[in-house]
Amino acid sequence: MTGKAARHKILVASRSAAFQDRMSEYSMHLAERLGYALVLLEIGAAGGAPTRPGFFSRWRCLPPAAAAKSLARFRQQAGRRHIHFEHLPCTQELGSAVETVCQERKGIAFILTDSDADKGEIAAIVSIPVFSVTFNSAPKTGGLRMATQVGTNRKKPVGRTIAFGLLTTAFYAAVFANTDLVMKYFTRGGVYAVLPIAAVFIFSFAHGAFASNLWSLLGIEARQKITAHKTVQPAARQVKRQDKRPRAYAYINPFHNISVTDKRSKTTIG
Amino acid sequence: MHEIQSAVQFIDLNAFNVIFLFIVGFIGGLVSGFIGSGGAFVLTPGMMSLGVPGTVAVASNMCHKFPKAMIGAYKRFRYGQVDIKLGLVMAATATLGVQAGIKLQRLVLTQWGQAGSDLYVSLSFVAVLVIVGGYVFYDAWSTARDCSIDGTCAMARWLQSINLPPMIHFKRADIRISLWFTVPVGFATGLLAATIAVGGFVGVPGMIYVMGVSSFVASATELVIAFVMGFGGSVNWAMHGMVDIRLVLIILGGSLLGVQLGAIGTTYVKEHMIKIVMGTIMLIVAVSRGLAIPEYLNQLGVTAFEESTVTLVKQLSFYSMCIGLLTGAVIILGAMIKARRPEADQTFGVEALESSGAA
């Protein structure tokens, strides 16, 4: 095990076959931003057999080839971003699997899933906040909306770069070709102060746009542009489990007569 | 005003001057875009070393600073890092701090002359940069923690818990704190800006450790404060005819490229990297300003160093200041290049098989 384990963790639960492509990227970015670790619970197809006796005995696992491929891909990305993570591929029922992980892995701060239905199922069982992440769709009530990721598929802004570059060049040429005239009025002071201030604003917009497009053209862009609009989630209600243990209720009367009644059998003792 | 203007000579520009100012502007912009401040403290002495009169250097520097801060703030706003409300609240008290700083400077100038004023500035530099920069650097290296969400510093937590109206909620910074606790941080930012021309060296750590804002939001929001302060100061200087638009445009040519690259760089690194860069620059610049002190001590008659020694030390001071800025730029670019590499050198992932053991 390498790296420093983060105190808090994000549990990511997904049934989707495209888990690594969408959910992993989003969850990794979130973990990186928050400094949290990741616990990836990948619910695979039913029927997988345990491959390592004594280890995944509680889980019905994915075939080893698929699990290894998934793990290797995620490890590469997480390593690049210095994210501490665990990968738990299994095919157990989602709610139970999440409950077990939350009990065994301390410090789960919140849970991410890519389905509203799964969110409801998980929220009914655990009390940890659950968020559903919708990809490239309109934000739904109670979910997170992920903005479009800055990627390499965008068209290169060649035209805009050239246009703003020419504008900037023209501005430079106008100032430096008429240096004497410019300096005469720009350093006059008083109300003429508006000239250098306005010139700087105009130049900044033109050259700023050129610079922005130039970096985009060179492929240097922000890594992620995530705008997660978190909606307030109501606290998950814990499902009341039937208590199978016999309960004894002590009834104490003020006159020191103590009688114990078994509620189920309705018998009084004492 | 006209007497001042007639006494001021605007330098003739040659190729060396243009290239020097462009490069320094680019590096200064890169650092500003990343840590929210810096760069300006090199440009003023840099311009003066080219023969630019002091007042023109300060005025032109300020006139380039506010549009650079504006573009940088806009870029980082798009990345969701700027808390405009926090920036404006801090800028309001920073403006008061600037006025107080200017009055204090004038008082020192009247009492002890130019040498005394320069000594005061240098000592302020050294004291603030060593104390604050040292703590920022130590914090970045030892714990790699920040004061956001789960890592709020003890002082910030305590201040946030005090319910002293009016309480303000800063949405992007995700803090709720009394307005009164923002006043000293903003005031100190303005005071330092007026004294050593870099208010962010107190503003950014102040927002992180006193108010509990994350490094990303603090460094981004500082750009809003820098814009407001710079704009006000620039208008003032422009009304006195001290702005050399040629110098401003050359510096802006490089700094607008650099500030956007620095802003992009923040999306590639972890939050503690901002502290590492800031702490490194502050400590190196502290050494630089410390080396400038013998000259002022000599002028005041406190010491009697050899003239050649003073000249050498003064040159070392300037070069070390440039090295400080360059070091920051190298760290930023290095972190960006490393983050963009397709394969990681280390694997931080944990095998489920190794960590959970037999179930």
The domain spans of chain B are: 2-6+13-339
Question: A145, A177, A196: which is the final residue of a domain?
Answer: A145
Least confident of A103-107, A147-151, A231-235, B268-272: A231-235
**Chain A residues touching residue B243 (CB < 8 angstroms):** 186-187, 196
- List helix spans (H) across A12-104: 23-34, 64-81, 94-104
Measured in residues, chain A has a length of: 270
Integer Cα distance of A190 and A186 in angstroms: 10
Residue A115 CB neighbours (<10 A): 18
End-to-end CA distance of chain B: 83
pLDDT computed for residue A244 by the predictor: 58
Q: Is the pLDDT of residue A135 over 70?
A: no
pLDDT above 70 covers a percentage of chain A that reads 59
Burial class (CB in 10 A: 0-12, 13-18, 19+), A223: buried
Report yes or no: B292 and B196 within 8 Å, Cβ to Cβ: no
A221 contacts on B by Cβ (under 8 Å): 264
pLDDT of residue A215: 93
The first and second tokens of residue A23, run together, are 């959910």
Q: Are residues A135 and A46 in the same domain?
A: yes
The domain containing residue A205 runs over which residues? 158-217
- What is the C-alpha to C-alpha distance for residues A149 and A136, in angstroms, rounded to an integer? 10
Give the SS3 label for residue A258: strand
* A49 and A172, same domain (yes or no): no
- CA A196 to CA B237: how far, in whole Å? 10
Element at B178 (helix H, strand E): strand B175-178
Domain co-membership, A64 together with A176: no
Query: How many Å lie between the alpha carbon of B253 and the closest alpha carbon of chain A?
Result: 7
Distance CA B42, CA B23 (A): 12
Question: How many percent of chain A have pLDDT more than 90?
Answer: 19
User: Which tokens hold the place of B277?
Assistant: 């860069």
Q: State residue B285's pLDDT score.
A: 83
The least confident of A61-65, A221-225, B129-133 is A61-65
Answer whether B350 sits within 8 Å of A32, measured CB to CB: no
Residue with tokens 């937590």: B157
Residue of B nearest to A196 (CA): B245
A135, A170: one domain = no
Residues A137 and A164 in one domain: no
Number of helical (H) and strand (E) elements in chain A, helices listed first = 7, 9
The residue ranking higher by pLDDT, A256 or B300, is: B300
Can you tell me the distance from the alpha carbon of A2 to that of B183, in angstroms, rounded to the nearest whole number? 43
Hey, which of A65-74, A114-123, B176-185, B345-354 has the most confident mean pLDDT? B176-185
User: Between A134 and B92, whose confidence is greater?
Assistant: B92
Query: Quick one: pLDDT band at residue A151, thresholds 50, 70, 90?
Result: very low
DSSP B150: G
Choose the mutation target among A200, A203, A205 for the interface with B, i.e. most B CBs under 10 Å: A200
Asked if B267 lies within 8 A of A223 by C-beta distance, the reply is yes
Tell me if chain A has a CB within 8 Å of the CB of B75: yes
Task: Please tell me the total count of domains within chain A.
Answer: 2
Instruction: Write down how long chain B is.
Output: 359
pLDDT of residue B74: 92
Between helices B84-142 and B272-299, what is the axis angle to 10°? 90
Interface touch B350/A85, C-beta < 8 Å: yes
Best B256, B261, B272 residue to mutate vs chain A (most A CBs within 10 Å)? B256
Total Cβ atoms within 10 A of residue B142:
9
Residues A85 and A115 both lie in one domain = yes
Q: What is the mean pLDDT of residues A116-127?
A: 78
Query: B19-41: per-residue pLDDT in tens?
Result: 988 998 998 899 888 888 777 77
Taking an 8 Å cut-off on Cβ atoms, the answer to whether B270 and A226 are in contact is no
Tokens of B54: 């002091």
Task: Write out residues 149-168 of B within 8 Å (CB-CB) of A.
Answer: 149-151
B315 interfacial to chain A (CB closer than 8 Å): no
Whether B289 and B153 have beta carbons less than 8 Å apart is answered as no
Say if A267 falls within a structural domain.
no
Judgement on whether residues A41 and A110 belong to the same structural domain of the protein:
yes
Coil, helix or strand for B166? Answer: coil
Mean pLDDT of chain A, nearest integer: 71
For chain A, the maximum distance between any two Cα atoms, rounded to a whole number of angstroms, is 111
Among residues B228, B256, B269, B243, the alpha carbon closest in space to that of B90 is found at B228
Model confidence at A49, in pLDDT bands (50, 70, 90)?
A: very low
- Bridge-based pairing state of the strands A248-252 and A258-262: antiparallel
Any domain includes A151? no
pLDDT at A70: 65
All residues of chain B having their beta carbon less than 8 Å from the beta carbon of residue A199 are 245, 249
Using an 8 Å Cβ cutoff, are B17 and B202 in contact?
no
Whether residue A136 is predicted with pLDDT greater than 90 in this model: the reply is no
Give contacts of B 42-71 with A, CB under 8 A. 63-64, 66-68, 70-71
* Residues of chain A with C-beta less than 8 angstroms from the C-beta of B12: none
A82's torsion region: left (phi>0), alpha (psi -120 to 50) or beta? left
**Tokens standing for residue A195:** 């000239």
Residues A140 and A170 in one domain: no
ipTM for the complex? 0.79
Contacts of B51 (CB under 8 A, 6+ apart): B11
Across the range A147-174, mean pLDDT stands at: 78
Look at A203 and B343 and tell me if their CB atoms are within 8 Å.
no
CA of B230: which chain A residue's CA is closest? A197
Q: Of A180, A195, A217, which residue sits at a domain end? A: A217
State the CB neighbour count (10 A cutoff) for residue A255: 6
A1 within domain boundaries: no
From A97, A124, A145, the end of a domain falls on A145
How far apart are alpha carbons B268 and A149 in whole angstroms?
A: 14
Residue A255, domain member (yes or no): no
- Would you call B350 and A199 a contact, using CB atoms and an 8 Å cutoff? no
Asked if A226's CB is within 8 angstroms of B241's CB, the reply is no
Q: Say if the Cβ atoms of A87 and B352 lie within 8 Å.
A: yes
The verdict on residue A228 lying in a domain is no
Q: Is the pLDDT of residue A207 over 60?
A: yes
pLDDT band at B8 (very low <50, low <70, confident <90, very high): low
- Return the top range by mean pLDDT from B290-299, B311-320, B348-357: B311-320
Determine contact: B18 vs chain A, CB below 8 A: no
- In Å, how far is B347's CA from the nearest CA of chain A? 4
> Is the previous residue joined to A234 through a cis bond, with omega within 30 degrees of 0?
no
